[in-house]
Structure 1
Amino acid sequence: MQRSKKIWFWLPYAISILCAILFIYAATSKLWDFQQFKVELGQSPVLTAYAEWVAWSVPLTEYALSVLLLIDTTRQKALFGFLGLMTMFTTYIVIVLNFSDYVPCSCGGVLENMGWTEHLVFNLFFVALAIIAILQLESRSVNKSNLS
């Protein structure tokens, strides 16, 4: 029984580390080949007008959230930020797959080698992890407030 409590206690931290690694990797791969990333965003039927702005803001936001995910006092808010960004990325994939003739891939590294279905499942997996971590942290704070 004690082992189960320890796992649930550390789970949000472990998930936060995984999410931070994902965003650090994704942001670095975007900046590594920044021109290609910007060109692909410019070819997107949804983001063409905002390609320059999005090209800079996405990796910088990913880096910022990665740092915030690793700090105890900002972890919960950062998980909400991670969840929001991953939900937007996932929604973008669904929109482009269903309503566009051209499907640009502005992903880098290993993610670039995934098909769109695999990428969608991958994103949904991380969305689910973020929700689990958020719920665990919120139940912990509710329990603390009930004890006070």
Structure 2
Amino acid sequence: MKRKVQIRQHIFNGIATAFILLFCYAATSKIIDFENFQVQLAQSPMLSAFSDELSFAVPISEFLIVILFMIRRYKFTAMFLSFTIMIMFTAYIYMILNYSPYVPCSCGGVLEKLGWKEHMIFNIAFILMAVVAIIIYPQEKLIGTNTITDYEN
């Protein structure tokens, strides 16, 4: 039984690490090229009205999720927020691809090399990883019985 919990712990922590790397990279690239990020948001047919607010909110949210992953008691919350933000990003891409008359530039950094469809597949892969992590997270921790503490490390 303990071995099974350890395997789940490693899977959860591996997925958490992938999200930490993704969000650190994404937020940092947005901040480094902040003006370009703001311009790209302003060019978006769906987000232009909120581009000023979003240009700050998105990287701050990404860094906040990373910080939550670093705090033991908030790891599950961080994973749930990761799932939620990836759903939102993916829904945005879907709407841009299917309902927008204009498709703006993609993300900055390495992810800029991906087309919108490839970016959507990338996002779906991260959504599926988050679902796996949420499912394997021990339910005992969620209801507070503290019978499994291996995920605390």
TM-score by length of 1: 0.90
Aligned counterparts of 1:61 and 1:146: Cα–Cα separation in 2: 29
1:60 corresponds in structure 2 to: 60
Q: Distance in 2 between matches of 1:141 and 1:38?
A: 40
Q: Does 1:15 align with 2:15?
A: yes
Matched AA of 1:125: A
CA drift at 1:72: 1.6
**Could you give the per-residue CA deviations for residues 15-63 of structure 1, whole angstroms, max 9, x where no partner exists?**
1111011000000111111111101100111111100000000000100
Tell me which residue corresponds to 1:83. Answer: 83
**Deviation at 1:6?**
2.6
| Unmatched 5+ stretches in structure 1 | none
Number of residue-to-residue matches in the alignment? 147
**Distance in 1 of aligned mates of 2:43 and 2:142:** 46
**Contact 2:140-2:146 within 8 A present in 1 as well:** no
CA deviation after TM superposition for structure 1 residue 9, in Å: 2.3
Contact 2:76 2:134 in 1 (8 A): yes
CA RMSD between the two structures: 2.1
Identify the structure with the greater helix proportion. 1
1:6 — aligned with what? 6
Asked whether the equivalents of residues 90 and 120 of structure 2 are also in contact (C-alpha less than 8 Å), the reply is yes
**CA-to-partner distance for each residue in 1:79-113, whole Å, 9 max, x for gaps?**
11111111000000000000112111341111000
> Does residue 135 of structure 1 match 2:138?
no
Structure 1 stretches of at least 4 aligned residues deviating more than 6 Å after TM superposition:
none
For structure 2, the residue ranges without an aligned partner over 5 or more in a row are 148-153
Return the alpha-carbon distance in structure 1 between the equivalents of residues 103 and 43 of structure 2.
9
* Residue of structure 1 equivalent to 2:117: 117
Could you tell me which residue of structure 1 aligns to residue 101 of structure 2?
Answer: 101
CA offsets, 1:113-142, max 9 Å, x none?
001111011000000111111111144537
TM, length-normalised to structure 2: 0.87
Amino acid at match of 1:116: W
Instruction: Decide which moves more: 9-18 or 120-129.
Output: 9-18
Contact residue 41 and residue 106 of structure 1 kept, 8 A: no
Q: Any idea what SS the aligned residue of 1:46 has?
A: coil
